[in-house]
């Protein structure tokens, strides 16, 4: 298949691109800069030079493709509403381009939209009432699901807040760099917030399985382990760096990290994935846990 992929040079998208090529697909990637374009050329990936704001380029590329995989997202937590608006505009462009085609459209969502799950572990087979500060992305996710009504095989993949591996992700490097700047590894008290996590390689495999077998209008979760606490991750960072650990209130965290980041680090967010396992045959295969990888693995190079 000829696949148009956004975020092809990003943390998740670059692994998805590699897996697509390994499984025999041709990949066309969106590149927003000459540097990104050069990376795609090195990976022997065709390119469309443009940004998520280039609506006509997105539509044209989607028209030409046999399928679209959308992994890009603007992680600007100082303007989260703006990021959501751009996301919805992108989804609208792809929906317009793919309408009545029956083509696969695999798009990224996140479990942050579930808010604080408390003691619950939320499965991808159940419906959920959205609440809290992070639910703006739920509206975009519904755009993905509703695209199926226009004869598009649209699928939303909910990825955990904490994706790890290969020395990347949004939040683990954030903790490491924060510790380096302050001389202490910090967490938000009481530090017993529990998360589900997944390795980036396992997350990338979910995109491949969804492309092949995902059912139109479906939502699938990716998770390899649950019950990982925010304090445990911070302690792993501290052991890796040889630093001390210190707690702070959420109010203090909002002042130094901003409300969006502080919110991500101060909620329970646990999921399971029986639907992904049953319908797609997806199961995580990476054995290294997130705490092992932080302390002894890919993050030591940061």
Q: Where are the domains of the chain?
A: 2-163+198-222+272-284
pLDDT for position 132: 60
Q: Where are the alpha helices (DSSP H) in the chain?
A: 11-22, 34-42, 55-64, 80-98, 136-146, 171-182, 200-213, 230-241, 250-257, 259-264, 274-275, 290-296
Helix (H, G, I), strand (E, B) or coil at 47: strand
Pairing of strands 26-31, 46-49: parallel
- Of the pLDDT bands very low, low, confident and very high (cuts 50, 70, 90), residue 228 is very high
Asked whether the predicted pLDDT for residue 203 surpasses 90, the reply is: yes
- Of the pLDDT bands very low, low, confident and very high (cuts 50, 70, 90), residue 50 is very high
**Cα gap 61→241, rounded to integer Å:** 45
**Cα gap 289→16, rounded to integer Å:** 21
**Cα gap 302→294, rounded to integer Å:** 10
Closest CA to 67 of 178, 153, 151: 153
- Of the pLDDT bands very low, low, confident and very high (cuts 50, 70, 90), residue 236 is very high
Asked whether the predicted pLDDT for residue 130 surpasses 70, the reply is: no
Beta carbons of 157 and 222 less than 8 angstroms apart: yes
Closest CA to 71 of 136, 11, 131, 132: 11
We find that the CATH architecture of domain 2-163+198-222+272-284 is 3-Layer(aba) Sandwich (3.40)
Handedness of CA 221, 135, 200, 7 (dihedral sign): positive
Closest CA to 114 of 100, 128, 101: 128
pLDDT for position 131: 61
- Of the pLDDT bands very low, low, confident and very high (cuts 50, 70, 90), residue 100 is very high
With vertex at residue 197, the alpha carbon angle to CA 125 and CA 145, rounded to the nearest 5 degrees, is 35
């Amino acid at each position: 298949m000829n696949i148009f992929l956004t975020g092809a040079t990003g943390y998740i998208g670059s692994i998805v691109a590699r897996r697509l090529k390994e499984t025999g697909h041709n990949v066309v990637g969106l590149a927003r800069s000459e540097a990104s374009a050069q990376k795609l050329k090195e990976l022997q990936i065709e390119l469309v030079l443009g940004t998520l704001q280039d609506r006509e380029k997105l539509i044209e590329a989607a028209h030409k493709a046999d399928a679209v995989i959308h992994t890009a997202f603007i992680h600007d937590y100082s303007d989260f509403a703006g990021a959501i608006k751009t996301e919805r505009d992108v989804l609208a462009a792809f929906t317009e381009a793919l309408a009545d085609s029956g083509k696969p459209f695999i798009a990224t969502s996140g479990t942050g939209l579930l808010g604080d799950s408390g003691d619950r572990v939320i499965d991808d087979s159940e419906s959920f009432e959205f609440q809290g500060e992070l639910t703006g992305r739920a509206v975009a996710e519904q755009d993905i699901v509703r695209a199926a009504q226009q004869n598009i095989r649209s699928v939303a993949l909910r990825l955990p807040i904490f994706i790890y591996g290969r020395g990347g992700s949004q939040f683990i490097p954030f903790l490491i760099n924060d510790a380096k700047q302050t001389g202490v590894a910090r967490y938000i008290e009481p530090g017993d917030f529990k998360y589900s996590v997944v390795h980036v390689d396992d997350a990338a495999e979910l995109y491949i399985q969804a492309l092949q077998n995902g059912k139109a209008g479906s939502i699938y979760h990716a998770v390899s382990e649950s019950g990982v606490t925010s304090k445990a991750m911070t302690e792993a960072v501290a052991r890796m760096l040889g630093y001390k650990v210190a707690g702070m209130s959420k109010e203090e965290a909002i002042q130094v990290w901003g409300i969006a980041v502080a919110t991500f680090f101060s909620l329970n967010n646990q999921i399971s994935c029986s639907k992904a396992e049953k319908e797609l045959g997806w199961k995580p295969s990476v054995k290294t846990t997130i705490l092992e990888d932080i302390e002894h693995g890919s993050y030591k190079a940061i």
